[in-house]
Chain A
Amino acid sequence: MGLIDNINKLFDHRIRLGIMSILMVNEEVDFNRLKELLDVTDGNLASHTKTLENAEYIKIEKSFIGKKPNTKYIITRVGRKAFKKHIDALEHLIRNPE
């Protein structure tokens, strides 16, 4: 029934899945907090946030706290919708294995 189509390739990765899960329940999260929660390296996290940003699932806000640059990540409406669809598809596939 094309359910498998709802499985989003972009979320088929541990770190991207993790970033989206965190952003779903937090209004905004900064880089270090994501790093701490996901337990990944800077470079690794940066490349995956970039991928999600290019898909317009998340947006990035850069600012300064004092002299230190601070990068915040926020989920977009499109991203929220896409991720919900992905979770639904996962649940369906678990309940009705082919």
Chain B
Amino acid sequence: MDSKKYLDDISQIKDLMNRSSRFISLSGLSGILAGIYAIIGSLVAYFFLLPGVDDYVTLHNRNFKLIMGILILVAVLSFVTAYLLTTRKAKKNNEKIWDDTTKRLLVNFFVPLVTGGIYILIKLNSQHYGLTASLMLIFYGLALVNASKYTIGTVKYLGYTQIVLGLICAAFPGYGFWFWVLGFGILHIVYGSIMYLKEDKA
């Protein structure tokens, strides 16, 4: 039989699947960078801002506001990095960045994420600090799993891992900070590196 034709068919299938849901192709380097931002942010928080054993965090205290500021900065930086790297790659491949796949990917990503964010803020306002890290990991994981419908890559597994980590974190009160570093820092770097190596081969 004509196995050359079958090979052509398979490579056409792969090519179209990639191009029609290509957003994934960039997550490698942006994943690594997001992880690095998260770790730098948490180092700053750990050495300068976190309360000692005798102190309490209170909502309107200056350190608390600074920690929130760092969190927002890390999130915004990660997002901007992913956006810039994706745009650059899309330009190189002569693709449009803002199309249906992208729009749907973003909507699906932000619905769980914003829900979680608001929920956490409400809890913080009523002095419930304990589960913040756990909730952040869980909602971020759900956002990834939800958005992964528009990719053929492995973002899904990063999402599942974050959810599991978030649940474990909920079971170990007091270690939230470390779980946060593990999830948003280390996992991003590990996942990003795996993706980055795969991209290089492709």
Q: CB-nearest residue of chain A relative to B24?
A: A25
Q: CB-nearest residue of chain B relative to A27?
A: B149
CB-CB under 8 A from A21, the residues of chain B are: 12-14, 16-17, 20
Q: What CA separation (Å) do A5 and B1 show in the bound complex?
A: 13
Contact size range, A: 20 to 34
Give B96-111 as 1s and 0s: 1 = Cβ < 8 Å from A's Cβ atoms: 0001110010000000
CB-CB under 8 A from A27, the residues of chain B are: 104, 149-150
CB atoms of A37 and B6 under 8 A apart: no
Task: Give which listed residue, B12, B100, B149, contacts A17 with CB less than 8 A.
Answer: B12
CB-CB under 8 A from B101, the residues of chain A are: 26
Q: CB-nearest residue of chain A relative to B16?
A: A21
Q: Main SS of chain A's interface residues?
A: helix
* Residue B152 lies at the interface, judged by CB distance under 8 Å to chain A: yes
Interface residues of A in 34-59 (CB under 8 A from B): 37-38
* Residue B3 lies at the interface, judged by CB distance under 8 Å to chain A: yes
Give B1-26 as 1s and 0s: 1 = Cβ < 8 Å from A's Cβ atoms: 10100110110111011011100000
CB atoms of B20 and A25 under 8 A apart: yes
Task: Give which listed residue, B6, B9, B16, contacts A22 with CB less than 8 A.
Answer: B16
* Residue A90 lies at the interface, judged by CB distance under 8 Å to chain B: yes
CB-CB under 8 A from B10, the residues of chain A are: 87, 90-91, 94
CB atoms of B6 and A90 under 8 A apart: yes
* Residue A62 lies at the interface, judged by CB distance under 8 Å to chain B: no
Q: Say how far A48's CB is from chain B's closest CB, in angstroms.
A: 14
Q: What CA separation (Å) do A28 and B28 show in the bound complex?
A: 26
CB-CB under 8 A from A90, the residues of chain B are: 6, 9-10
CB-CB under 8 A from B150, the residues of chain A are: 25-27
CB atoms of A30 and B12 under 8 A apart: no
CB atoms of A98 and B20 under 8 A apart: no
Q: What CA separation (Å) do A38 and B20 show in the bound complex?
A: 10
Give B146-160 as 1s and 0s: 1 = Cβ < 8 Å from A's Cβ atoms: 000111100000000
Q: Say how far B132's CB is from chain A's closest CB, in angstroms.
A: 33
Q: Say how far A63's CB is from chain B's closest CB, in angstroms.
A: 14
CB-CB under 8 A from A30, the residues of chain B are: 100
Q: Say how far B189's CB is from chain A's closest CB, in angstroms.
A: 27
Give B121-137 as 1s and 0s: 1 = Cβ < 8 Å from A's Cβ atoms: 00000000000000000
Q: What CA separation (Å) do A87 and B7 show in the bound complex?
A: 11
Q: What CA separation (Å) do A27 and B13 show in the bound complex?
A: 17
Apart from A33-B100, A87-B13: 4 A-B pairs, beta carbons within 8 A: A17-B13, A25-B17, A25-B152, A37-B20
Interface on B for A, CB 8 Å cutoff? 1, 3, 6-7, 9-10, 12-14, 16-17, 19-21, 99-101, 104, 149-152
